[in-house]
Amino acid sequence: MRNRIPSGETNEKYIISGGRKLNGEVRIMSAKNSLLPLIACSVMVNDEVFLSDCERTSDAENMLDIVRGLGGKCHFDNGGICLDCRHINGHKTNAELTGKLRSSVFILGPLLSRMHRADICYPGGCDIGLRPIDLHLTGLSSLGVKFTSEGERIAGECTELKGREVTLPLPSVGATENIIMAATMAEGRTVIRGAAAEPEIIDLQRFINMCGGKVSGAGTGRICVDGVNSLHGCSFAPSGDRIAAGTFMIGCAMCGGDVDIIGVDAAHVVSVTGLLRAAGAEITERIGGVRVKSSGNLRAPGRIETKPYPGFPTDLQAPMTALAASAKGTSYIIENLFENRFRHIPQLLKMGADITVCGRAATVRGRKLHPADLVAEDLRGGAALVLAALSADGTSTVSGLSHIDRGYYKLDERFRALGADIIRM
């Protein structure tokens, strides 16, 4: 069993009285998907690191616990995360922790670089598909790592890491990041072809280079890493969370209102902007943010197909499905990245949604949704249910909050500040 449900399940639920418009400002914090590899990468830094504007999502907390288990010191302070990995002395991660989040796999590259060995449990995370780690392992093997696996554990060893040419058959974000990290202090040059081009990879490049590494090409399909002997500390500001920003953009479009979303690069959410405009929302882009104005009466955004960046992100497919379910007209959703990412749909059906699924495609015939008792089954699907409940007249509940807590910190408070009626009980 490779994908496990996060433990720490809570009986808490959101009670949401939907139908209120959203107005005001929301400040977006550092991207969770940047932060997690950056925390892992800090294991390679023999110095202090500060990552600014970080939220205490449970994924971030768990990742820090993994680093602590290896001998690193880390804590939240001054709105960010301080890490000191000078005394890392372990190479084996705690099985329960690694089972909690997919991103625990990021520790492989940095540990192999620092300790020349690593012993981890197969990573957990959202149950949105098979989520193999074969590309991580073959990429790291190309740099000289020998892997053995026993039960749920996988161990890697190398005498030294050597720069090589690595070609990824598909642009895996995590595999690209793991290979970059392992190559950072390898001997010689590594070239990654077929690399993923997500903004979070540019963040990783900026961070490593700020620590004295030599990475270039992030944001393109060809990344070049020239190995260096050591990394020094730095204070780093990751980019704003484009998925959190997209969640608020879609929420405002659905509920109606006028929300200024601050701290995200408008270019990072351009695929969301295009769909929301097609649905009838007014979006103003500016440096460092976007503003969404909407009457709440939307038309179907049309065809939505998830793709690697700069295409429409799979992480916003569920929120966009919730929007399509309550907009006027028919939309077609195609999920290309993960085979099990429609788990929010049975929940939306409870609200009266008219959606038929055929394999990786969903046909959504929009209609007015009614309130219901909903259960989040994964992180982004959970956020989609919150948005659907916020926009539907009447009182809904959303349980399964441990999934949502993985990637959104105090989501209820953020929406309450915009005028929503949502409480956590």
Residues 6+ apart with CB under 8 A from 393: 18, 19, 370, 371
* Cβ pair 224, 191 in contact under 8 A: yes
User: According to the binding rule CB under 6 A, does residue 310 interact with ligand UD1?
Assistant: no
Q: Which residue has the tokens 């995370």?
A: 125
Q: Which residue has the tokens 């020094």?
A: 232
Please give the residue whose beta carbon sits closest to ligand UD1 in the complex: 174
Pick the closest to residue 351 from 325, 372, 381, 373 (CA basis): 372
> Of the candidates 16, 22, 26, 36, which one interacts with ligand UD1 according to CB under 6 A?
36
Fill in the DSSP letter of residue 239. P
> Of the candidates 99, 110, 163, 174, which one interacts with ligand UD1 according to CB under 6 A?
174
**Residue 375 to residue 347: CA distance in whole angstroms:** 7
> Of the candidates 338, 342, 408, 415, which one interacts with ligand UD1 according to CB under 6 A?
338
- Label the pairing between strands 22-27 and 14-18: unpaired
Active site residue 126: yes
**Residue 393 to residue 282: CA distance in whole angstroms:** 23
User: According to the binding rule CB under 6 A, does residue 314 interact with ligand UD1?
Assistant: yes
Q: 50 - beta bridge partners? A: 82, 235
User: According to the binding rule CB under 6 A, does residue 257 interact with ligand UD1?
Assistant: no
**Residue 301 to residue 111: CA distance in whole angstroms:** 44
**Which residue lies nearer to ligand UD1 by CB, 57 or 190?**
57
User: According to the binding rule CB under 6 A, does residue 173 interact with ligand UD1?
Assistant: yes
- Label the pairing between strands 257-262 and 22-27: parallel
Edge-to-edge strand ranges of the sheet holding 257-262: 22-27, 257-262, 289-294, 282-286
| Span of 1-9, 173-181, 250-258, 265-273 interacting with ligand UD1 by CB under 6 A | 173-181
**Measured from the CB of residue 36, what is the shortest distance to ligand UD1 in angstroms?**
5
**Measured from the CB of residue 34, what is the shortest distance to ligand UD1 in angstroms?**
8
Q: How many CB atoms lie within 10 A of CB 167?
A: 12
**Measured from the CB of residue 213, what is the shortest distance to ligand UD1 in angstroms?**
20
Which of 74, 126, 158, 255 is labelled catalytic?
A: 126
**Measured from the CB of residue 413, what is the shortest distance to ligand UD1 in angstroms?**
23
**Which residue lies nearer to ligand UD1 by CB, 119 or 378?**
378
User: According to the binding rule CB under 6 A, does residue 335 interact with ligand UD1?
Assistant: no
> Of the candidates 170, 267, 423, 425, which one interacts with ligand UD1 according to CB under 6 A?
170
> Of the candidates 3, 30, 33, 58, which one interacts with ligand UD1 according to CB under 6 A?
33
Site for ligand UD1 in 121-140 (CB under 6 A): 129-136
Give the DSSP H/E element, type plus range, for residue 189. Answer: strand 189-193
* Cβ pair 391, 139 in contact under 8 A: no
Q: Which residues are catalytic?
A: 126
List residues near ligand UD1 by CB under 6 A. Answer: 33, 36, 102-103, 129-136, 170, 172-175, 196, 200, 313-315, 337-338
